[in-house]
Structures are given as C-alpha cells and as structure tokens.
Structure 1
Amino acid sequence: MISGNKVIPSMGFGLWKISQDDCATAVYNAIKEGYRHLDSASDYGNEKQVGEGIKLAIEDGLCSREDLWVTSKLWNSFHAKEHVELALQKSLDDLQLDYLDLYLIHFPIASKFIPIETRYPPEWIADPDGPNPRLELAPVPLMETWQAMEAVYEKGLAKQIGVCNYNSGLLHDLMSYAKIKPSMLQIESHPYLTQEKLIRLAKQYNMAVTAFSPLGALSYLELDMAGAAESVIEQKIVKKAALRTGKTAAQVVLRWGVQRGTAIISKTTQPERLIENIDIFDFELNEEEMTAISALNINRRFNDPGDFCEAAFNTFNPIYD
C-alpha cells in the first residue's frame, strides 16, 4: 500500500495493550519474524520499551531504521499548536528515533493540557485525584492542530502526517484547509464494521487507509467491551474459507482486510500468533468469499468514545453519530 512516497507494509504490529514488561521483547520478536510496520502511540504508555526493542533489533542486524515504518500518534491533551511538537519530540525521545514515518492525530478530541513532567502519558482524565475525576475538553479547533502537524512535517520530524478516528464530515472539512494533505486515515474496521463509504472517500482523497482491530471483538474481550459471541472467526463463511484455503479463521479475516486494500494492525505477544498473523500473503480469498465476509457488516463499533468515555471517564463525548 502506498502512503506518500513510501510503501507502508500491509501488515502492522500493534503496540496497544502490550505491557511495559513484555513490550521490548515483543517488538524484537515481531521484527525477527518479518514485521516492518510498528503502530505505536504515546497513550499506550510503552514507547520507551518499543524503542528498546527497535534499538536491539537494529544492533543485532535484523533490520535497518530505513527498513521500518514507525507510526505514533498525538494524544488528545497535546492538540494546542504549542504542544504538538512537544508531544512528538517526547515520542521520538522515547522511541530513540530521529523521525517518524507517520504521525497521526489519535482522536478528533482536544482535552485539557497535562504537562509531561506532571503525568505521562496523560491518559483521559484531567485530574484523577481530584473531587470530580473526568475527561475535561479544551477549546482547540482541529484546524489549529492540523496546522501544527504540518509544521512538524515541514521540520522533517514526521515524514508523513494523517488522522485517526475521523468520520467523513471531518475528512471533508480537513481537506478544505489542509495545505499539506493527510496521507493516512486510520480507523476501526473489520467484517462487522466495514466502513466502505468512509474508505472509499479516503481513497478518493488519495489517502491510504489502515484498519485497527481487524479481528473485531478479539481486541476488546479483556476490556469487557465485547462479548465472546461477537467473535467474527466463529462465522460459518470464515470457517468455510479457512477449510478451503488450509488457513486459520483468523488468517482468513486478516487476509480479507489486506485484500480489500487496507493496511491492518494486528497485536499479539504470543510467538506462534506472530508467525500466524503475518503468514497471509501466500493465498487469496475468492470473490464470493470476499463478498460474503463483507456482508457480515452490522456497523458494530467496539472502540467508541460515545460509549466508553461516559462509563470510564464521567464525560459523555460521542464523535460518531
């Protein structure tokens, strides 16, 4: 998949929810198994360990820096123009890198600024120890944030810039004022949430698309944000395609993701799963299978601030209708 002037590897290794204790080893093992696309974020709280894994992999000759595509994301509390470069530089320092291949606005949500020396990563709640711990929004226009993103791009700190979790209306608006156009849209997408219109719009704007949570519910079971019965790998059409191709059900779903033209972000710390997840480039799903898997769409969104912000952070804050 092309994003800007560099090819982003279709299979990414996601760092969300990987503990600090496991992260450096997980990154090293992922690179060892052939992953070259690492999807990080300041909010994941493990970028120092990601940097350690990258450094060790390069020192051991598994790859060069130029071989890697490293993405990170601007957290909500750093949306003001004076804070964007500050946040990016913190990620670079933790990752032990001179530049990012891609820097993304994590959410179209601006929250109260928390100094790095006060708490890092800031997470969602402005004052966890206060009398009313909650998400506190900040009056920062997305246009201001994007202009600051353009500035770090122009400095060479990020080779490309883009957005996460934007809807079609926000994309139209962004394209009306962006001097440097976003090269990437990262969104939740899987067979239960195909987002075909949004993906088509992004491509119409010459944006590449990365799908996070490509296996749907499996990323959210441990957070109680999904039920086991919602697992797409249990669907008959998925199992039937797995039987035909001699692959696992998870590999079929991941293959569907890349075959429809998106990069995908998978996550695991299990060595056998690392190998399984990336082993999806020696087979193809036929047209009937692709159509049937796409038809599983029920617009089921697992990662929705309109749901989790109120429950977890005492603030109702939907960004999707």
Structure 2
Amino acid sequence: MAVRLRLRIPLRAFDTSLGKLGLDYLDLYVLHWPVPSTFEATAASYRAAEKLLAEGRVRAIGVCNHNPAHLRALTEQTEVVPAVNQVELNPYFVQPEVRQADAGYGIVTQSWSPLGGVNVYWDGGRNKAKNPLDYPTVGEIAARYGKTPAQVILRWHLEHGLSTIPKSVKAHRIAENFDIFDFTLTDGEVASIDAVDTGVRGGPDPDGARHSSYSDS
C-alpha cells in the first residue's frame, strides 16, 4: 500500500500540472531535490516519473541538485538513468565532482543560475563581490571580444559542454544571452575563469532539502 501511495501522489501531481499547462505531454520532467533523509521516497517518486516516461507522457526525465552520492543511490534503486542533472553552477561554484559523475553516467549537466545571480539575490544585492559578472577576469575577457560579461560566462559554460538555462524576462537580455555563437574562448581564458571558483555554494545545500518536488520543462 505504501509503495502504491508513493507512486500515486507524484502521478496525481503530474496530471494536475499537465492540466494547468494545457498540454498532452512534457519534454522534460525533473525531480527537484534528492532529500537524502527520506531517499526511499525520493526513489519512489523517480519511479513514478519512469512510469510516465514508459507511457509516453514525458519525453525525458531527470533530476536537480544531485551530487555523486545521490546519483549513485538513485541509479541503484531505479532503472532509467536521468537524462539531465540541473545543478547550481557558475564561475564561483564550478562543481567538478558533479560534472565528472554526470559524465560517467552519460547525464547532461545543466547549469541553473549560470551567471551566478543566486550569489546576489540571496544576499539582497548588498555584496557585489559575490557577483561573477563583476569579476575583473570576466570583464577583461568581455572587453577583448566586445561582449558583455554575461555573454562571456555563458560561452564559458558552452566551452565546458554544459547545458545552461539563464533566466530573464527582459527581451534585450534574452537576445543578449543567445548572442554567444560568434566567438569562442581560448583554453587559457576558460582556465582563467575556472580559477575564479570559490567552492562555496550560493543556494541551498541539497543535503538539507526536505521536499522532492517536481518541475516541468
């Protein structure tokens, strides 16, 4: 009964989301947090997503904020390897271990807060030193190419083979974010941005997450 209930709740939530969106299927459905304290429930939720995938109601399933230990535990308890792992990733927090683990499983690493905005808005914008866009190395490279710091950082993600999802509601920013395919960074420039890494997370720690909600894309 418990197993059926754990499947039923996320399936019902999916039906609700799909109805609100007015769609027949979703391209991507991702588990938001690993919730290590109740990982059995996390795995059950992911198995519900596997059911949706098998039924053709989603085209791909994935996870968010999973570190290597979370991925190992999940793949041991489920059948379908996540297509995507969305994680906080920007020049101040480059996540080499997660990227390596994702690559080992054939998972696409997708960067949320790729420009490092999480470092700013969690701080209320008080500490500009926490903004990768203001880091001198990034500004110097931007001036060299006639690009903005945001474009340089997004190009840095692409040079690493990362998928990136910058957020903006402003048309000119969205256009700016797309305009990154007419230049490339040298290996030295990529390495110089890598060196900006502080190893300090700007957002919530996945090990402290309490809810394994789903997001759709």
TM-score (structure 1 length as normaliser)? 0.59
Question: Normalized per residue, which structure has more helix?
Answer: 2
CA contact (8 A) 2:67 2:98 kept: yes
Which structure 1 residue ranges, 4+ long, deviate > 3 Å from structure 2?
A: 137-140, 219-226
Residues 98 and 220 (structure 1 numbering): CA distance in 2 closer, same or farther, change over 3 Å?
farther
Return the structure number with greater relative CO, CA threshold 8 A, min gap 6: 2
84, 100, 119: which is aligned to 2:26? 100
Q: Does 1:246 align with 2:146?
A: yes
Instruction: Please point out which of 181, 193, 197 is paired with 1:297.
Output: 197
Whether the 8 Å contact between 1:225 and 1:302 is mirrored in structure 2 is no
- Structure 2 residues not aligned, in runs of 5+: 210-217
Structure 1 residue 281, shift from structure 2 partner: 1.1
1:277 matched to 2:177 = yes
Cα shift at 1:225: 5.9
Are 1:80 and 1:140, in contact at CA under 8 Å, matched by a contact in 2?
Answer: no
TM-score under structure 2 length normalisation: 0.86
Deviation readout 1:49-91 (Å, 9 max, x if unpaired): xxxxxxxxxxxxxxxxxxxxxxxxxxxxxx9321111111222
Shift of 1:138: 6.9
State whether structure 2 residue 208 is matched by structure 1 residue 318.
yes
Aligned 8 A contact 1:188 1:212 in 2 = yes
Between the aligned partners of 1:189 and 1:105, the Cα distance in structure 2 is 17
Take 1:290 and 1:247, find their aligned partners in 2: how far apart are those partners?
Answer: 15
Contact 1:81 1:147 in 2 (8 A): yes
Q: How far does residue 191 in structure 1 lie from its aligned partner after superposition?
A: 0.5
Q: Calculate the aligned-residue CA RMSD, in Å.
A: 2.1
Relative to structure 1, is the Cα distance of residues 235 and 153 closer, same or farther in structure 2, using a 3 angstrom cutoff?
same
SS of structure 2 residue aligned to 1:80: helix
Q: How does 1:54-93 map to 2 (within 5 A)?
A: 80-93=6-19
Residue 201 of structure 1: CA displacement?
Answer: 1.0
Letter of the 1:318 counterpart: G
Aligned counterparts of 1:214 and 1:282: Cα–Cα separation in 2:
20
Shift of 1:176: 1.7
Partner residue of 1:221? 120
Per-residue CA deviations over 1:224-273 (Å, capped at 9, x if unaligned) read 36632211111121111101111001110111112211111111111211
